[in-house]
């Protein structure tokens, strides 16, 4: 009896001492500028994300890649993009590279996702939203349902219509949606941000009897083009952007300083000076641009509203306090103007879409904000999506969770650090193949740098390159917004990238270039030819994709024609012989 009592006591003490593993909610926003969120200096209403920021840690110096698919692969695996099979957006990847290791165009089986990493710890994993890692769903083994996630409803494309199944690019005939690994249709009342939250809640409700911790990956289509949102969210912002992009860039810079995101008394690049001036835009075009920005703002507002619904649900079921929330973005704002591309214009004329002012933002509307407003939204940084300047790489990161302190951390952090941090929190160590650094100590209040001044962090996507080391960064962007020459910046003194030190500090420049060459060799980076154009490559890949779809019919048709010709020739020969 005494022995039984001692064993019972030991068992009870072990239960008390064992901490319950935290739930994890990863919220990924598409194409978001550093200062789009209110907590980072923006004017758009995002109270629910801001509430998480107020209770959590804001990382002011977080960097990702300049493109969506590579960022998503690195975020979920903690590995370099060239080791995941997603070196760039698959839609613009030259087909001749598909056989090269690391350039497959889909997530490799040896690039373990967070869902696969967390599964041995007893986690059940769910995903709703944009995946973009399985080559349009053609590589079934790379779909999230086959990569550790227990329940999924996902889009496996770079983007799509937010109200229906229509594609937003000629590359796809229609958007490829999958539920639990099987191609599926969308509900009639579909709106992306609302549905992703509804479906995530439904998944959790289906398993509400489980005691296992959960990992929820909410990957929103917002703020990817086409920008679309119910009218009620647009109306709030119809007067907000009448001052134009110069005013917006300056307002956001000042607000980011006030919020402690950007240091005071630091210069920023006059990025808009090389672009069209607001004063030169005619009134009709201004009207379209102002409403387009209202649609953008409304879409972010709507996403935040639905995030709030999910947070309320977690509070109602008693899971909020024991949940880690991670809110971030895949890259900077979209500065591409689709109408600049002839192939897009030809496709647009045959599509369901329109650009009518009165219906701008609805399900048949194709909305984008253009280069100048994208540059303003990246304020105070230079450039935007697709580029290795800070405007393409530096995005918000908010982490809130049990036993984490709230505040700001200004130290450099990187996209691969997310997987490292979660591995460290759950297992007490960082998984061997993860290259990122754990932010666990930072979340506990440490101001110590996670990267040593001797740690190089390299990055290459679609021919653009960067490397961080200590306070320094080298960056190389291709035309039209770059010279394809290396530039050197001291980000501790010049976070706006205004003073190129490559001529003043040649030894430091060569040191970082040497580090970059080592990065290239280790990760098998292919140097794209100088005449590579992502727009031309996408057009070529679109043609090849449709050709492959109809290749069998074309082959059968050619065979029938050939047989017919041979038969006619034989009959003619036979006629003349007789």
Q: Which two tokens stand for residue 554?
A: 């074309």
Cα 33 from Cα 42, distance rounded (Å): 9
Distance of CA 506 to the CA centre of its chain: 34
Q: Exposed, middle or buried, 330 (CB in 10 Å: 0-12/13-18/19+)?
A: buried
Residue 63 · residue 52 · CB < 8 Å: no
Q: Which of 63, 82, 132, 382 is catalytic?
A: 132
Mapping DSSP onto H, E and C, the string for 485-551 reads: CCEEEECCCCCCCCCCCCCCCHHHHHHHHHHHHHHHHHHCCCCCCCCCCHHHHHHHHHHHHHHHHCH
Q: Which residues contact 179 (CB under 8 A, 6 or more apart)?
A: 152, 153, 154
132 catalytic? Reply is yes
Mapping DSSP onto H, E and C, the string for 141-164 reads: HHCHHHCCCCEEEEECCCCCCCCC
Q: Which two tokens stand for residue 549?
A: 């779809």
Distance of CA 6 to the CA centre of its chain: 54
Distance of CA 391 to the CA centre of its chain: 14
Cα 536 from Cα 212, distance rounded (Å): 48
In order of 23, 32, 114, the CA distances from 15 in angstroms are: 18, 43, 27
User: What is the CA angle 396-399-400, rounded to 5?
Assistant: 140
Cα 534 from Cα 137, distance rounded (Å): 21
Cα 251 from Cα 379, distance rounded (Å): 9
Cα 280 from Cα 262, distance rounded (Å): 30
In DSSP terms, which residues pair with 413 in a beta bridge?
A: 62
Give one word for 85, left, alpha or beta, with left for phi > 0 and alpha for psi -120 to 50.
left
Q: Which of 63, 68, 306, 382 is catalytic?
A: 68
Give one word for 232, left, alpha or beta, with left for phi > 0 and alpha for psi -120 to 50.
alpha
User: 196, 120, 217, 133: which is closest to 418 by C-alpha?
Assistant: 217
How many of the other CB atoms lie within 10 Å of CB of 434? 22
How many of the other CB atoms lie within 10 Å of CB of 59? 23
Tracing tokens 């920021």 back to the chain, one arrives at 53
Q: How many CA atoms lie within 13 A of 531 on its CB side?
A: 0
Q: Which two tokens stand for residue 92?
A: 């613009």
Helix ranges restricted to H, 354-453: 370-377, 390-393, 417-427, 440-443
Q: Quick one: which H or E segment has residue 108? A: none
- Edge-to-edge order in the sheet of strand 464-469: 456-461, 464-469, 472-476, 487-490
> Phi/psi of residue 63, each to 5°?
-130, 145
Residues with a known catalytic role: 68, 132
């Amino acid at each position: 009896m005494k022995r039984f009592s001692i064993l019972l006591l030991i068992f009870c003490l072990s239960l008390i001492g064992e901490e319950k593993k935290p739930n994890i909610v990863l919220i990924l926003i598409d194409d978001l500028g550093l200062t789009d969120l209110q907590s980072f200096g923006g004017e758009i209403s995002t109270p629910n994300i801001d509430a998480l920021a107020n209770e959590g840690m804001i990382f002011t110096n977080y960097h990702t890649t300049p493109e969506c698919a590579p960022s998503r692969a690195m975020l979920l695996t903690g590995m370099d993009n060239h080791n995941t099979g997603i070196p760039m957006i698959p839609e613009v990847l030259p087909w001749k590279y598909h056989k090269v290791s690391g350039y497959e165009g889909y997530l490799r089986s040896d690039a373990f996702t967070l869902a696969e990493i967390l599964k041995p710890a007893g986690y059940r994993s769910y995903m709703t939203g944009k995946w973009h890692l399985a080559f349009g769903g053609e590589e079934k083994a790379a779909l999230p349902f086959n990569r550790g996630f227990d329940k999924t409803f996902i889009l496996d494309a770079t983007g799509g219509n937010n109200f229906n199944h229509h594609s937003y690019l000629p590359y796809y005939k229609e958007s490829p949606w999958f539920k639990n690994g099987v191609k599926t249709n969308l509900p009639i009342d579909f709106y992306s941000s609302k549905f992703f939250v509804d479906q995530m809640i439904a998944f959790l409700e289906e398993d509400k009897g489980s005691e296992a911790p959960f990992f929820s990956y909410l990957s929103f289509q917002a703020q990817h083009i086409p920008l679309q949102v119910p009218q009620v969210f647009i109306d709030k912002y119809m007067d907000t952007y009448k001052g134009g992009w110069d005013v917006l860039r300056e307002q956001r810079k000042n607000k980011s300083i006030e919020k402690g995101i950007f240091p005071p008394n630091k210069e920023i690049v006059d990025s808009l000076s090389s672009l069209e001036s607001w004063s030169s835009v005619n009134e009709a075009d201004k009207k379209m641009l102002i409403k387009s920005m209202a649609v953008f703002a409304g879409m972010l507002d709507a996403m935040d509203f639905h995030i709030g619904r999910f947070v309320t649900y977690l509070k109602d079921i008693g899971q909020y306090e024991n949940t880690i929330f991670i809110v971030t973005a895949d890259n900077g704002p979209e500065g591409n103007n689709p109408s600049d591309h002839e192939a897009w214009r030809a496709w647009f004329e045959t599509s369901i879409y329109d650009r009518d002012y009165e219906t701008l933002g609805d399900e048949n509307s194709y909305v984008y904000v253009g280069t100048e407003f994208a540059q303003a939204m990246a304020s105070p940084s230079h450039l935007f999506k697709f580029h290795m300047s800070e405007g393409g790489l530096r995005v918000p990161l908010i982490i809130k969770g049990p036993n984490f302190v709230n505040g700001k951390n200004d130290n450099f952090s990187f996209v691969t650090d997310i997987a490292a941090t979660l591995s460290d929190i759950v297992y007490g160590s960082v998984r061997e193949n993860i290259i990122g650094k754990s932010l666990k100590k930072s979340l506990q209040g440490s101001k110590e740098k996670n990267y040593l001044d001797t740690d190089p962090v390299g990055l290459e996507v679609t021919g653009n390159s960067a490397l961080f080391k200590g306070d320094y960064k080298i960056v190389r962007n291709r035309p039209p917004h770059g010279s394809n020459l290396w530039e050197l910046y001291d980000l501790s003194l010049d976070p706006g990238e205004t003073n190129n030190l490559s001529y003043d500090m040649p030894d430091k420049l060569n040191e970082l270039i040497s580090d970059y060459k080592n990065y290239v060799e280790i990760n098998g980076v292919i140097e794209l030819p100088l005449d590579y154009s992502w727009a031309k490559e996408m057009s070529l890949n679109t043609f090849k994709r449709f050709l492959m779809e109809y290749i069998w019919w074309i082959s059968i048709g050619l065979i029938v024609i050939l047989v017919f010709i041979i038969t006619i020739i034989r009959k003619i020969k036979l006629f003349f012989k007789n």
